[in-house]
Amino acid sequence: MLKVFESSRAKLLGSVAGLALVAAAPMALAATGTSPQSLDTTVSITIPERVSILNLSSTMAFGTWDATGDEQVTDDLCAWSNDGDPGQYRINLTTDNGSMVLQQGADTIDYTVAWATSTGQTTGTNIPYNTPTTFTLASATTPTCGGGDNSTIIVDIAEADLAAAPASATAYDAVMTVEISSVP
């Protein structure tokens, strides 16, 4: 079982709280004279870099290995960034045990994680442990992906690693943190 948590920084959504509407000068403008009169004012808004990650399952469970073949679990989710057109973002993976292993006591099983920028995928770009990896949205979307998903996270365990692991009635597991950030 792989427990998955979204980073608190990954829940940043484009919000109007940080946006401002400002006039060009802090003083009132006035026009006098014959009709018509006009004044110019500047209207501006600042849009900071934003990212969001949504719909990531809290648990990605492989189930029980049947002693044949590799194991894979995938999850479709929403990843968004307003950095570029279409948006670019980085995914970084860390775990509670400091590496890409599932753990039961002192015993471990290596696993790998890949990312695809479309849904329903079983292969993607490998993401090494604690190595931010850059991706580009397949198409520009909203911070909520229009209510759907646009990416897949793929977790694989090789048959050789499963075969080498001691049997355990208790699941091997790890807590993996998936962090999304803008590209510097």
Cα 57 to Cα 78: distance, rounded to the nearest angstrom: 11
Q: Which tens digits make up the pLDDT trace of 114-164?
A: 999 999 999 999 999 999 999 998 776 789 999 999 999 999 999 999 999
Q: Where are the beta strands (DSSP E) in the chain?
A: 2-6, 51-54, 59-60, 71-81, 88-95, 101-104, 107-110, 112-116, 125-126, 133-136, 151-157, 174-181
pTM: 0.80
Domains detected in the chain: 2-13+50-181 (2.60.40)
Q: Which tens digits make up the pLDDT trace of 19-58?
A: 344 434 456 677 788 888 899 999 999 999 999 999 999 9
Find out whether 118 and 79 touch, Cβ atoms under 8 Å.
Answer: no
How many other β-carbons are positioned within 10 Å of the β-carbon of residue 59? 11
